[in-house]
Chain A
Amino acid sequence: MKPTDIGNPDYFHKVVDCQWGCPAHTNVPEYIRLIALGRYTEAYLLNRQSNVFPGILGRTCDRPCEPACRRGRLDGKPVAICRLKRVAADLRDDVSDQIPKGAGGTNGKRIALIGAGPASLTVANDLAPLGYHITIFEKQNKPGGLMRTNIPSFRLPESVLADETGMILGMDGVDIFYNSPIRSMKELLGLGFDAIFVGTGAPRGKDLEIPGRHETDRIHIGIDWLESIAFGHVESIGERVLIIGVGNTAMDCCRSSRRLGGKDIKVMARRPRQFFKASPWELEDAEEEGIEILINHAPKRFVIENGKLTGMEFERLEWDAKAERSKVLDSIIIPCDDVILAIGQDNAFPWIERGIGIEFGKWDMPKVDEKTFQSTLPHVFFGGDAAFGPKNIIWAVEHGHQAAISIHNHCQGIPVADRPPQGQNLVSLKMGLSEWSYHNDFNPSQRQKMVHVDLEERFKRMNVEVELGFSAEQTAREVQRCLNCDVQTVFTAKKCIECDACIDICPVQCLTIGRDGEEAEVRGRLSAPATNTDQALYASEPLPHTKRLMLKDEDVCVHCGLCAERCPTSAWDMQKFELLTPLAGGEACTTSYSHA
């Protein structure tokens, strides 16, 4: 095996599973330590640097960090990273004097952003402090985009949304025009902006063209229906409601129905549960509210009697193991008053004229570069759901950061493909004999359970936030579950005397001194077989005494530091890794607030 190149920031970054899994590469262990210290404001600001909307994301994020979390591989449940983020947002002080101010549009470049969702707002957040003049065109009368229209207020309070969007819209040099849908890209191009960013989301809910679809007004498109609730246009629904589809939008639809008068609510899924798109926690939250989820039902027709929707007919299916092929068992009519369709979203760009330089490709989507977010018209960029179809908020934020870098490059005459590189800092945490400047004991606590408002209480009004947030005691326990994966085990081969002390003490059999070989073969003969090939094997230079290699399987290392503690020569050291992430107009910059 080749000695591992730890000079490449990717190596240690990948060890920090949560940060690697986060599209915006939020420095999770660092902010969890800050929360542990009660430094909520700094924890919030650290979050904000990468993910811009900590309060919103602390309630609504799809949390790709949590399935990635190393803790989950040890005791089955990841650290509750997302809800700890909310703790920082809820308990922080006023930060208005600590967030970047706009520079009042002093650099003379004018940027148009279409839509005021997470992607556009991130672009504004990154560019306004550099002196760009930002003009946002929003079709609604309030900012937030899909964060406002598609996420019900019992999950995301209006005040949190207003606060975090307000931080950006309040920057000097950022103007927003409400009730201003862009109807013609050609017209906008004519206004002479230096760059245009399209952050219009994926605003078109998919329809279900089966018999009866257009014979009643009681069939609703999920995302449109949620939007109508958000703006107060819809205030009630029938008692018996069927939701078609089983993604996260379906969960928001069924839970909203429950609050608007629905009593018998069924979510109808075509396939078995393990193939659902919705996050497991969203399914649990819906079921807690008495919503029934039926599997293996394929919609066949809407039942209309005397011009009135009375039910829906489904075919009951039996699937093979991989749910690829099905056979129809029989059909069944389920009575209902309303049907909500939540079977996916499409992008729609009827307002972008063809032939103006923006080329469209597969599925009538604009051709957008995956790294630079540039379209085929050099000064037009796309991001968020508008770029590659529906994803989620945290991806939209990362698209915004990257598009901001591209827009800056474009306006400053730098090729957009010249991306500023990532960097890393590694700082030893050794303070003295048996002293480390991080909390390195393993806490066996179980994941803390989020407490919810009583069922009766929460159905009284639409905007009663269901999750109460962690208590002080829960927070104190949950932060200690974090393994500090950013505190890296760093090995210096030339110091090693091969005494085996590190191997003997490692509680999770990560370490081996062994002879060299092909990685696949080496993985099979370690202290414990390294079967998780997603996780790296850290191989040293040949050791001085025997020319064997020190091999570390990163998979379930608990970062306790005992290898370094028991090492007589400091060949192992615990060093805090910090990923330096570049933003528009800057070198890769430090995000650190604490020395561990």
Chain B
Amino acid sequence: MPSIVKPVAKHPSLPANKLGLTVRDYEGSMSTLCAGCGHDSITAAITRAFWELSVEPHMIAKLSGIGCSSKTPTYFVSGAHGFNSAHGRMPAIASGANAANRNLVYIGVSGDGDSLSIGLGQLSHAIRRNLNMLYVIENNGVYGLTKGQFSASADVGSKPKKGDPNQMSPIDPVTLAMSLGVTFAARAFSGDKEQLVPLLKAGLSHPGFALIDVISPCVTFNDHEGSTKSYLYSRQRLFHATEVDFVPEEDEIVATITPAGETPVRMHDGGTVRFTSTPEGYDPQSREKVYTYLQECQQRGVVPTGLLFRDPETRDMHVMNNSPEESLFNLPYEKLCPGSDALEKLQRNYR
């Protein structure tokens, strides 16, 4: 826990985004997490993603529940709205906020405990609802705030710092989400920002529920030999199943991707994106194939990362509910609450 505030000194050649802000304008308070926590790297990646997308800070809503992970929204974009909810209840708060104001950019930051134990029901229904938000799970396999007990994402055979290895089967948030109809599912590693930042940008821009499961080593309770979520283990077992970069919507560019090696494609801004082919037969738009692939990888003890699945036909909560384009909070009171006569009329339709 640092004893000093981050110096206000800036690099003199720090670039500005479209809003004229530097990446430092998207920072939050100093982290009070343990030195070396993977969560802090994710915080840095989120800071960068928002900066690169030039999102106005006051148009961001950051939400969380309880846990080490849930502290982190404090550490990015001080100028954003925020809500720190009860344990596991962040999706309910996010749903309410999104229902009232659909024009904000919603990011929820949660952990494996908050999302896969106490908040599993909440998470499941937010996925079903296809709530338009980015949901980041900072997944370290342990309860860090209560001294490192195994969480629901701990792998079978993973060793704790002291005591016996885990025997219960883990919940994999990505396969779980796939089975619940998620329209955007990705996995990443806190130590690989080159992959994480584009995924975060894509997730923030996805019109629906975007889930990113980020392996984020707990440097204090789960970074030892025998751990399956340590820095070293992750670096050895993780591989990029897909290579993605986020490109804002523009006219279509058609390119043929060669089966092996890289294919460079020139983009609208003059930059070049290099495409690497996914494993043979991999189709990131086929729920069945991706599901099977993830099961195979789990059997082999390897962890594929990248944007694993995306449903282009996503229909979010507002589309399903046929809610107005205008945010509810902006509607005049008479329209939002048209009175008991109008209610009576509506109910008559269903009798």
Contacts and interface: CB of A to CB of B under 8 A. Distances in A.
Residue from the set A440, A498, A500, A503 with the largest chain B CB neighbour count within 10 Å: A500
Contacts of A545: 231-232, 235
Most buried by A among B11, B14, B43, B235: B11
Interface string A482-506: 0000000000000001111101110
B231 A442 contact: no
A271 to B, nearest CB: 30
B10 interface: yes
A499 B193 contact: no
A509 B43 CA distance: 16
Interface in B95-147: none
Nearest to B234: A545
A558 B44 contact: no
A435 B12 contact: no
B191 interface: yes
Contact of A504 (B14, B40, B219): B40
B191 A499 contact: yes
A569 B13 CA distance: 31
Interface in B210-247: 217, 219, 223, 231-232, 235
B231 A498 contact: yes
A501 B43 CA distance: 11
A442 B2 CA distance: 14
A499 B11 contact: no
B3 interface: yes
B68 interface: no
Interface stretch (A112-120, A320-328, A460-468, A559-567): A559-567
Interface string B1-13: 1111111111111
Interface residues of B, number: 34
A507 B7 contact: yes
B1 A505 contact: no
Contact of A442 (B8, B41, B219): B8
A501 B14 CA distance: 20
A99 interface: no
Contact of A565 (B3, B11, B232): B3
B10 A507 contact: yes
A499 B218 CA distance: 10
A568 B24 CA distance: 23
A528 B36 contact: no
A18 B345 CA distance: 82
Contacts of B31: 505
A221 B2 CA distance: 62
Chief secondary structure at chain B's binding surface: loop
Most chain A beta carbons < 10 A, residue from B36, B38, B190, B232: B36
B40 A497 contact: no
A212 to B, nearest CB: 52
Bin the interface of chain A by size: 35 or more
B191 A500 contact: yes
Max chain A Cβ within 10 angstroms of own Cβ: one of B10, B35, B231: B35
Interface string A427-448: 0000001110000111010000
Contacts of A333: none
B40 A73 contact: no
B231 A434 contact: no
A53 B141 CA distance: 64
A500 B3 contact: no
A442 B44 contact: no
A441 B2 CA distance: 11
Interface string B232-276: 100100000000000000000000000000000000000000000
A564 B190 CA distance: 20
A514 to B, nearest CB: 11
A444 B217 contact: no
Contact of A556 (B6, B12, B40, B191): B12
A568 B9 contact: no
B41 A499 contact: yes
B66 interface: no
A508 interface: yes
Nearest to B236: A545
A529 interface: yes
Nearest to B1: A434
B11 A505 contact: no
A497 B36 contact: yes
A417 interface: no
Interface in B33-51: 34-38, 40-41, 43-44
Given A500-B193, A531-B13, A562 B37 contact: no
Interface in B169-194: 190-191, 193
A74 interface: yes
A509 B14 contact: yes
A546 interface: yes
A369 interface: no
A441 B4 contact: yes
Contact of A508 (B9, B40, B190, B231): B9
Contact of B4 (A498, A528, A562): A562
Contact of A509 (B11, B40, B41, B235): B11
Contact of A566 (B2, B24, B231, B232): B2
Contacts of B43: 504
Contacts of A433: 1
A493 to B, nearest CB: 15
A369 B7 CA distance: 47
A75 interface: yes
Nearest to A436: B3
B316 to A, nearest CB: 32
Contacts of A435: 3
A529 B12 CA distance: 11
A442 B9 CA distance: 8
A560 B7 contact: yes
A499 B8 CA distance: 24
Contacts of A509: 11, 14
A508 B219 contact: no
Interface string B37-80: 11011011000000000000000000000000000000000000
B349 to A, nearest CB: 56
B232 A507 contact: no
A546 B235 contact: yes
Contacts of A558: 7, 9
A434 B2 contact: yes
Interface of A: 73-75, 433-435, 440-442, 444, 497-501, 503-505, 507-509, 528-529, 531, 545-546, 556, 558, 560-562, 565-569
Given A500-B41, A568-B35, 6 more contacts: A74-B9, A435-B3, A497-B223, A500-B44, A504-B40, A545-B232
23 contacts: A74-B9, A434-B3, A441-B4, A497-B223, A497-B231, A497-B232, A498-B191, A498-B231, A498-B235, A499-B41, A500-B190, A500-B191, A501-B36, A528-B11, A528-B14, A545-B235, A556-B12, A562-B7, A565-B2, A565-B4, A565-B35, A566-B2, A568-B219
Interface of B: 1-14, 24, 31, 34-38, 40-41, 43-44, 190-191, 193, 217, 219, 223, 231-232, 235
